[in-house]
Chains A and B, each alone.
Chain A
Amino acid sequence: MSTLFSFLFQFGDAFAFLVIASMGLAIIFGMMGVINLAHGEFIMCGAYTTVSLAQLGLPLPLAILGGSITAGLIGMVLERTIIRHLYHRPLDSIVATWGATQGVLIVLGSTMQGVGTPLGSFTVGGFSYSTYRVVLMGIAVLLLVSLYLFFYHTRAGVIARATIQLPRMARATGVDTGKVYTLTFGLGAALAGLAGGLYAPTMTLVPTMGATFMVESFVTVVIGGGDIFLGAAPAAAILAVIRSGMTAWQGQLFGQIGLLITVIIVIRLLPGGLSGWILGGRK
């Protein structure tokens, strides 16, 4: 029983991490076809803002929200000034997203004292588990559900999807597509900032912490393919099994190596990712 719970906890933890870390990247890639190499910098920006706000005395949830909004605003500025000009050149947009955010590393500067993990812990079968991690799992699910509701059941979400599918048609019906792109990029950046804020209490803050998230989120998006809900979410579930299994067996790093080997094999078999495969099978 306690072994089962332990595995479920590990799985849930890995799933939550993959979903939260990759959602911002998945939205920007799935909706706009841009691979955002600044993803790590947005995450870091969210984390640093969160910790700074928390140290000023703001309650943690508000601080996390602040981190997310900051990253989102930076994302919107970045889209307006640079990414906008590169939609027809995806390879160049990769390169530019990296180049544009190098300044962030310096502004944020050195290592920062973190805030402790809140909410304490609970015990099952002699093992102690962090309550905050369980909250993160809940947030991951909540995030998926609310993004689904947003994109499929609100007017703004429908307009966003219409713009992505047929930009010229959307423009013809009076949609300001430029604004939609900016907001979508901002949403992706804000989700990355949220990831940073949510995980800030659980890790040490160093300027290179974004890189910790990079591999996991890339792998999830590559395996998932273009669609967020049919791709990234199931990909995160499958990868979470692999990662928690490998981590339990050999440690954190081997979890990452396992993910990498999985992605290399999967792209050979399913080049369109999971969503390409699911959608292709449906035709």
Chain B
Amino acid sequence: MTRPEVNSDLNRGASLIDATPKQQRNTLALWLSRLEGPQTLGSGRWFWLTLALAVLAAVIYPLFVDGWTVGNTAYFLVWTFMAMGLGVIWGYAGSLSFGQTAFFGLAGYGYGVLTLNFGAAYGFTLLALALSVGLAALLAVVLGYFMFYGRVQGVFIGIVTLSVTLVFQAFMAQTAGPEWAIGAARLNGFNGMSGMPPLTIPWPGGDVLLYADIALYYVLLGLMLVVYLGLRMLLNAPFGNVLVAIRENPERAEMLGYDVRRYQLLGFVLGGALAGLSGVLYTAWGQYITPSSMSITAAALPVIWVAFGGRKDVTATLIGTLVMIFLYQWLTIYGSQYAIVVMGVILVLTVLFAPEGIVLSLMRWISARLASTGGRP
């Protein structure tokens, strides 16, 4: 799957030393070149043209619909970070975490507690965002340390992470009494916290409050693009190659001299931080967070999105997630409680008949067609 970079370094031999200063000059070019690579699908003029058109469509989209719909679309974007993070852990590093919602919930509650205590002045909400994501990453470091450095195998990671999120849920659900408060922020048990300020960007001549509206939509769209392109570069960098090498064959990666545990932990922390980012954005989007955001159903949803899209490619994950969230909301409106059953059925069908993911299989098929026609669509 991946060519071990140890070999290529050896082949290049002494010339590597001479090339160093030049490489430093070209760091930016190097990273930009990693937008395309072996670990991500999509390359060449047609791919980037399609992406540019998709972004353009997303940018002009608010001109054609009302504010509520735009706010609702922003809600879809909120979840993509958690999904892409799960894609890194599960698809690229090969360890299924069934409890990404633990990081989501922790960061969401963290944002609530911080902003309810310190308000939104001087851009504090942005600091609260960073701190809450940091908190989620810290939990991922602790949990990941015990799991990966204990060399826990595949399925156990799923159970332990799921247990963590279920215990978090049970814990938050029993915090109804007035004694459960952190500073000015009541935790409110099963009803959850509400009333925290939205993300607020300090701006000369009046702060910009990012309610679930057009401004928030653009911020989220920009953030999603940055994270998506950033992940593409990271996954095609040596880091991503090593993650894939570990997924394909941990022993071989170890023999090649990589500390498997450290790479798995780093991937896990990255995924935890991205889930935390989703948690903060979700809380800021609707100005509430409840324990049910950490329930087993909530925990399973990202797994469904990623499985449906295709966990081994970040683009497929992203597209699959957006499609599934849209579908889930549509089903919830028209089929109420049967929505989750349909999700379950889709999940089972995907796992049985398109184990690589439906979007990913489609993308592979399209690129194979393009290749056979010599690059012309």
Contacts and interface: CB of A to CB of B under 8 A. Distances in A.
A86 interface: yes
Contacts of A100: 344, 348
Nearest to A207: B337
Contacts of B98: 37, 94
B37 to A, nearest CB: 25
A95 B351 contact: yes
B296 interface: yes
A33 B159 CA distance: 13
B166 interface: yes
Interface string B90-110: 100000101000000000000
A2 to B, nearest CB: 29
Given A82-B352, A268-B149, A99 B167 contact: no
A275 B111 CA distance: 42
Interface string B266-304: 000000000000000000000000000001100010011
A99 B355 contact: no
Interface stretch (B57-65, B150-158, B248-256, B326-334): B150-158
Interface in A112-146: none
B41 interface: no
Nearest to B347: A99
Interface in A95-109: 95-96, 98-103, 105-106
* B interface majority secondary structure: helix
B274 to A, nearest CB: 20
Nearest to A212: B170
A256 to B, nearest CB: 6
B352 A267 contact: no
A254 to B, nearest CB: 9
Contacts of A218: 159-160, 162-163
B159 A103 contact: no
A99 B160 contact: no
Interface residues of B, number: 45
A94 B154 CA distance: 11
B304 A256 contact: no
Given A40-B296, A102-B340, A102-B344, A95 B163 contact: no
A157 B128 CA distance: 58
Contacts of B355: 89, 92
B146 A96 contact: no
A214 B166 CA distance: 8
Contacts of B151: 271
Interface in B155-194: 155-156, 158-160, 162-164, 166-167, 170-171, 174
Contacts of A256: 167, 170
Interface string A255-275: 011001001110111010000
Given A99-B347, A267-B146, 17 more contacts: A35-B155, A35-B159, A40-B296, A82-B348, A94-B155, A96-B351, A98-B296, A99-B304, A99-B344, A102-B341, A102-B344, A106-B341, A208-B295, A253-B171, A253-B174, A263-B163, A269-B150
